[in-house]
Amino acid sequence: MDASTVAKKHVFSFEEGDGKNKKLLGGKGANLCEMTQIGLNVPPGFVITTEACLDYLASPGRALPAGLIEAVQAHMKALEQKTGKGFGDPENPLLVSVRSGSAISMPGMMDTILNLGLNRETLQGLIHQTDDPRFSYDAYRRFIQLFGKVALGVPDELFDKQFEEVKKKAHAKEDVGLSADDLEEVSERFLKVVEEHTGKPFPKEPFDQLEIAIKAVFSSWMGRRAVDYRKQFRITPDKANGTAVNVVTMVFGNRGNDSATGVGFTRNPGTGENKLYGEYLVNAQGEDVVAGIRTPKPMDRLDVEMPQIAKELAELRDKLESHYREVQDFEFTIERGQLYCLQTRNGKMNAQAMVRTSVEMHNDGLISKEEALLRIEPDLLEQMLFPRLDPKFKAEAVAQGLPASPGAAHGIAVFDADRAEQLGKDMGQKVILVREETKPEDIHGFFASQGILTSRGGKTSHAAVVARGMGKPCVAGAEGIAVDVARREAYVGETSFREGDVITIDGTSGKVYLGQIPTVEPDFTPELGTLLGWADTASKLKVMANADTPDDARRALKYGAVGIGLARTERMFNDVERLPIVIEMIVAETPEQRQAALDRLLPLQRKDFRDLFEVMSPNPVTIRLLDPPIHEFLPDEHQLERELNELHQLAETTRGMAVLAGAMGLLHASDKVRSDLDSMRRLVDPAMVEDAIAKKETMLRKVRALHETNPMLGHRGVRLGISFPEIYQMQIRAILEAAADCAKMGIEIQPQIKVPQVCTKQELIRVKSFVDSIHEEVKQRYGHPVNFKFGTMIEVVRACMRAESLAEAADFFSFGTNDLTQATFSFSREDAENKFLPLYNQSGILQDNPFEVLDVKGVGKLMKLAVEWGKQTRPDIHVGICGEHGGHPASIAFCHEAGLDYVSCSAPRVPVARLAAAHAALHA
Does 816 engage in binding with ligand PEP (CB under 6 A)?
yes
Does 325 engage in binding with ligand PEP (CB under 6 A)?
no
Report whether 24 contacts 49 (CB < 8 A). Answer: yes
User: How many residues belong to the site for ligand PEP (CB under 6 A)?
Assistant: 10
Does 503 engage in binding with ligand PEP (CB under 6 A)?
no
526 preceded by a cis bond (ω within 30 of 0): no
Shortest reach from residue 817's CB to ligand PEP, in Å: 5
Shortest reach from residue 394's CB to ligand PEP, in Å: 42
817 binding partner (options ligand PEP, Mg ion, none; Cβ < 5 to 8 Å by kind): ligand PEP
Rg (CA), the chain: 35
Stretch that binds ligand PEP, among 33-41, 446-454, 587-595, 812-820 (CB under 6 A): 812-820
Q: Pick the closer one to Mg ion by CB: 355 or 564.
A: 564
Shortest reach from residue 856's CB to ligand PEP, in Å: 16
Largest CA distance in the chain: 123
Stretch that binds ligand PEP, among 11-19, 641-649, 701-709, 810-818 (CB under 6 A): 810-818
Shortest reach from residue 915's CB to ligand PEP, in Å: 22
Q: Pick the closer one to Mg ion by CB: 79 or 793.
A: 793
Where would I find the beta strands (DSSP E) of 213-285?
A: 243-249, 260-265, 277-282
Does 34 engage in binding with ligand PEP (CB under 6 A)?
no
Amino acid at 132: D
Residue 857: count of CB within 10 angstroms of its CB: 8
Q: Pick the closer one to ligand PEP by CB: 225 or 909.
A: 909
Report whether 397 contacts 513 (CB < 8 A). Answer: yes
Report whether 458 contacts 402 (CB < 8 A). Answer: yes
Q: Which helix (H) or strand (E) holds 764?
A: helix 761-782
Stretch that binds ligand PEP, among 25-33, 190-198, 765-773, 816-824 (CB under 6 A): 816-824
Shortest reach from residue 828's CB to ligand PEP, in Å: 13
Binder of ligand PEP out of 329, 795, 855, 901 (CB under 6 A): 795
β-strand pairing of 338-346 with 328-335: antiparallel
Does 819 engage in binding with ligand PEP (CB under 6 A)?
yes
Q: Decide: helix, strand or coil at residue 128.
A: helix
Q: Pick the closer one to ligand PEP by CB: 279 or 819.
A: 819
Stretch that binds ligand PEP, among 814-822, 836-844, 858-866, 888-896 (CB under 6 A): 814-822
Q: Decide: helix, strand or coil at residue 499.
A: coil
Q: Pick the closer one to ligand PEP by CB: 262 or 816.
A: 816
- CA-to-CA separations, 204 to 89, 134, 247, in angstroms, rounded: 12, 21, 18
Does 21 engage in binding with ligand PEP (CB under 6 A)?
no
Shortest reach from residue 454's CB to ligand PEP, in Å: 41
Contacts (CB under 6 A) with ligand PEP, residues 641-670: none
Binder of ligand PEP out of 817, 824, 891, 906 (CB under 6 A): 817
Stretch that binds ligand PEP, among 180-188, 242-250, 436-444, 817-825 (CB under 6 A): 817-825
* Phi, psi dihedral angles at 660 (to 5 degrees): -60, -45
Q: How far apart are CA 130 and CA 85, in angstroms?
A: 13
Does 818 engage in binding with ligand PEP (CB under 6 A)?
yes
Active site residue 885: no
Q: Pick the closer one to ligand PEP by CB: 514 or 913.
A: 913
882 binding partner (options ligand PEP, Mg ion, none; Cβ < 5 to 8 Å by kind): ligand PEP
| Nearest Cα residue to 255 out of 292, 284, 294, 297 | 284
Q: Decide: helix, strand or coil at residue 117.
A: coil
Crossing angle between the packed helical segments 591-616 and 550-558, to the nearest 10 degrees:
20
Q: Decide: helix, strand or coil at residue 871.
A: helix
Amino acid at 742: C
883 binding partner (options ligand PEP, Mg ion, none; Cβ < 5 to 8 Å by kind): ligand PEP
| Nearest Cα residue to 510 out of 442, 459, 446 | 459
Report whether 507 contacts 474 (CB < 8 A). Answer: yes
Q: Pick the closer one to ligand PEP by CB: 504 or 817.
A: 817
**919 in the Ramachandran plot: left (φ > 0), alpha (ψ -120 to 50) or beta?**
alpha
Q: Decide: helix, strand or coil at residue 288.
A: helix
Does 552 engage in binding with ligand PEP (CB under 6 A)?
no
Choice among 882, 885, 895, 905 that is catalytic: 882
Q: How far apart are CA 863 and CA 845, in angstroms?
A: 23
Shortest reach from residue 381's CB to ligand PEP, in Å: 22
Choice among 75, 410, 444, 462 that is catalytic: 462
424 binding partner (options Mg ion, ligand PEP, none; Cβ < 5 to 8 Å by kind): none
| Nearest Cα residue to 730 out of 533, 918, 893, 572 | 572
Long-range contacts at 839-843 (CB < 8 A, ≥ 24 apart): none
| Nearest Cα residue to 526 out of 355, 649, 377, 705 | 355
Does 715 engage in binding with ligand PEP (CB under 6 A)?
no
Q: How far apart are CA 734 and CA 736, in angstroms?
A: 6
Q: How far apart are CA 435 and CA 485, in angstroms?
A: 8
331 binding partner (options ligand PEP, Mg ion, none; Cβ < 5 to 8 Å by kind): none
Q: Pick the closer one to ligand PEP by CB: 458 or 883.
A: 883
| Nearest Cα residue to 114 out of 131, 127, 100 | 100
Q: How far apart are CA 448 and CA 498, in angstroms?
A: 19
Q: Which residues bind Mg ion (CB under 5 A)?
A: 795, 816, 819
Stretch that binds ligand PEP, among 150-158, 509-517, 679-687, 815-823 (CB under 6 A): 815-823
Shortest reach from residue 590's CB to Mg ion, in Å: 31
**Site mask for ligand PEP (CB under 6 A), range 553-592, x = bound:** -------------x-x------------------------
Does 882 engage in binding with ligand PEP (CB under 6 A)?
yes
Q: How far apart are CA 344 and CA 360, in angstroms?
A: 21
**875 in the Ramachandran plot: left (φ > 0), alpha (ψ -120 to 50) or beta?**
alpha
Shortest reach from residue 27's CB to Mg ion, in Å: 43
Binder of ligand PEP out of 335, 627, 763, 901 (CB under 6 A): 627
Contacts (CB under 6 A) with ligand PEP, residues 896-915: none
Report whether 118 contacts 88 (CB < 8 A). Answer: no
Q: Tell me how long the chain is.
A: 924
Query: At a CB cut-off of 8 Å and minimum separation 6, what does 844 contact?
Result: none
Q: Pick the closer one to ligand PEP by CB: 203 or 563.
A: 563
Binder of ligand PEP out of 93, 206, 269, 883 (CB under 6 A): 883
Q: Pick the closer one to ligand PEP by CB: 477 or 816.
A: 816
Shortest reach from residue 730's CB to ligand PEP, in Å: 20
| Nearest Cα residue to 502 out of 518, 524, 526, 522 | 518
**Site mask for ligand PEP (CB under 6 A), range 99-138, x = bound:** ----------------------------------------
Q: How far apart are CA 904 and CA 547, in angstroms?
A: 9
Report whether 436 contacts 456 (CB < 8 A). Answer: yes
Shortest reach from residue 906's CB to ligand PEP, in Å: 11
Active site residue 882: yes
Shortest reach from residue 888's CB to ligand PEP, in Å: 12
Shortest reach from residue 551's CB to ligand PEP, in Å: 19
288 binding partner (options ligand PEP, Mg ion, none; Cβ < 5 to 8 Å by kind): none
Q: How far apart are CA 705 and CA 727, in angstroms?
A: 19
Give catalytic residue positions: 462, 882
Give residues in contact with ligand PEP (CB under 6 A).
566, 568, 627, 795, 816-819, 882-883
